[in-house]
Structure 1
């Protein structure tokens, strides 16, 4: 059997193949013959299949996609299911159109509960099987299960996770210049101003460009400040529209973030003026830290992968390494730990045993430990051993997610209706950075909120 690497699936061909695909359970001889030195014990529960294939689409690309494919290679060998993965930056924009036309992949790795809800409301999703639900009930919190649920029906288990609100920095620069890790938002402001006053470089470097999703990294800033300035209850009210998007509390968060992102003294180190945030890709936005051209970069735990864009390991992520990160601090040093984060959800567009076998595996502690061990990511699966993570920072991140005392809130834009969280909020960030008044931006986003 060919061990699949991610290749391009052609949607109409996939749809036609899905119609004629016949699943045949086999005795296991084929899988046994091809397993070689692979220990198939952990995969026996998923069964064996002859000639079955499953297509998966998502936003995950490049090195992270390679690692994703590697995470299921033993599963393929032992079950006989061939998995073909395609990653695309346009997945979020295209998946509803593909689903409506009957051309969606068998599984879509959806990065937004709001998008999951839109697909479920369209009638395109297959509810999760009992095996998937059993895994989620065992390995995930009720909150995470709810993110994969729409209108009372459970559609998808969580996959990977991220903690947002990390501020990346150079430990050697901090040591050399005597900078202290800020413990409050006021101390973060003071540190930023100190770096700006020294005049060597702008303190912050930022990249907001992401194709049709340009602006989303800016929404992460707003969400972090909303949670820290106003607490989890107000954050929840904002996300669910119990308070309007143009509420004064939201304006306060925008203006606080604007002290950095709309300030020529603060950004865009090593890149250009304020306007270059919109054209600088989020993947490369933090890299000027490596050249000493900025000192701080706000981005999630998954950004670890981007410090070595060629896939090497010359830039280490450690408290004594090339780069490390601290969490965006609270208002008061003794405030409870509150973090925002995100995750993905493998939804199914085709009802088949092999599809659910793949989804059941992806919801297991076996898959989560396999993928975390390959590096660059974390999971909120409670069966994950934090020590399997590839860096000190990711070990810490998993421990934060597993700590029952942590106040965790899912990325707000990902929970909002798609017309807001994946459209007007992103576009509003771009308009705002381009000079539009805060209140006008908030009024425009509020007007886009669906009436039902």
Structure 2
């Protein structure tokens, strides 16, 4: 495939031409409106996993881009299997211009296949200005920056019913041990402590990652994510042991292990915030708020709130994130306008559009917190951005899909098996290592 760097908008002059801004001169945040419609008559095709409300809100961002540049946009929802859908479109000669990639592993896969254009100079400067270095690291493959992280998830949040904690007479805890003790008090008051979505293996990987990052620290987390550290390492066994104490405590988990294995993620939120609450707390990312609000009518900050996933075993409180990175495909029909879209997505202005719509967190540190529509969103965003370079990307999303992202196999299945019987952490670690070695070799 021929590289088409000469067709891309590069430099501050190009961004000003396309977006009608002065974003590159350090003269303050990009302002809304304006634009000289420099890309009028062109169309940018964007592919991503989003559907429903998420797609509608992202369309508002695309519409703002159109208003500035004159470029029309067309969004194609890929479903969860982005890699397969995009690959088939490339083979069929119908590649999108921009893809919103939800996993670091997929971004690396795309780059390895030679599908991606490196970001333009303007986009790179915006990343340097508006994002912590860690987001640049996760968008870089073999020294080239390909991915711009536009939407992030904060996966170190424990959501709770304020009424349940008040009834039990407990405060949001500061340490993992305090959290378990608070859970036992909640259980004594009549509700189960935690609703655990064990039917969805990905939620169990998130539990493990938070415990592991806090206990073992970021260096070992990075090494394990890259499989430079084996899953049989004592640090893994220690984290599994810690997690196993929760999994086997019938007082803490709603429905016990069997009940958890029959509960999917939406169901786990319903058991805390639905019409007939069965538990006081549910661990998962900031997106819990969207389910609690949209499906069960909860007022975020009033009858649904969160506390940060607490520090484990004397470590630092973890901040695990996920996110969607925008990339430009070489085989798209309009890489020039596609790169202009990424240059726009790198601005605080673009992030503000979705932040105002709701259901969104931005890793852009220069986004005005006032753009978020509620105090809880502002608090989660502050926690994510405030963590700076200590943020770590979801480990399972960095792994080959065969290990970290496939239902019924790999890490998902083995942690479900561990939830079912957490009596032998060493054996589970050995099974995880065997599965990881096979997947990373492949």
Residue 284 of structure 1 contacts residue 306 of structure 1 at CA under 8 Å; is this kept in 2?
Answer: no
In structure 2, the partner of 1:387 is: 370
CA distance in structure 2 between the aligned counterparts of 1:439 and 1:100, rounded to whole angstroms: 44
Q: Who is 1:439 aligned against?
A: 426
| Superposed CA offset, 1:396-445 (max 9, x none) | 22222333677322222222344433242223223333447543433233
From 201, 204, 220, the counterpart of 1:215: 201
Shift of 1:337: 4.5
Q: Deviations over 1:148-184 (max 9, x none)?
A: 1111111111111122121111112222321121121
Which residue of the other structure, out of 17, 29, 49, is the alignment partner of 2:39?
49
Quick check: 2:211–2:312 contact (8 Å CA) kept in 1?
A: no
Shift of 1:41: 6.6
Task: Map 1:50-89; keep pairs closer than 5 Å.
Answer: 50-89=40-79
| Partners of 2:201 and 2:416 within 8 A in 1 | yes
Q: Check the 8 A contact 1:160/1:377 in 2, yes or no.
A: yes
SS at match of 1:295: strand
What's the secondary structure of 1:427's corresponding residue? helix
Q: Does the alignment pair 1:327 with 2:314?
A: no
The alignment's C-alpha RMSD in Å is: 2.8
Whole-Å Cα distance in 1 between the matches of residues 36 and 102 of structure 2?
Answer: 25
Q: Aligned residue pairs: how many? A: 402
| Alignment of 1:190 onto 2:181 | yes
1:308 match: 293
Question: 1:433 and 1:46 mapped to 2: Cα distance?
Answer: 57
- Tell me if structure 2 keeps the 8 A contact 1:118–1:418: no
Higher mean C-alpha deviation, range 143-152 or range 125-134: 125-134
Distance of 2:259 and 2:57 partners within structure 1? 31
Q: In the alignment, does 2:355 pair up with 1:372?
A: yes
Q: How far apart are residue 128 of structure 1 and its match?
A: 1.8
User: Aligned in 2, Cα 1:337/1:443: closer, same or farther, shift over 3 Å?
Assistant: closer
Distance 1:398 1:179, change over 3 A: same
Which residue pairs with 1:28 in the alignment?
none
In structure 2, the residue corresponding to 1:301 is in which secondary structure?
Answer: coil
- The alpha-carbon distance between structure 1 residues 343 and 133, as it changes in their structure 2 partners (threshold 3 A), is same
Cα drift, residue 44 of structure 1: 5.3
Q: TM-score, normalised by structure 2?
A: 0.82
In structure 2, stretches of 5+ residues that fail to align are 1-18, 21-29
Query: SS of the residue aligned with 2:280?
Result: coil
- Over 3 Å counting, the alpha-carbon distance change for 1:445 and 1:47 in structure 2 is farther
Whether 2:344 is the aligned partner of 1:354: answer: no
Q: In the alignment, which residue of structure 2 is the partner of 1:285?
A: 268
Q: Which residue number in structure 2 is paired with residue 159 of structure 1?
A: 150
Structure 2 Cα separation of the partners of residues 324 and 347 of structure 1: 34
Of 163, 170, 175, 2:166 maps to 175
TM-score, structure 1 as length reference? 0.80
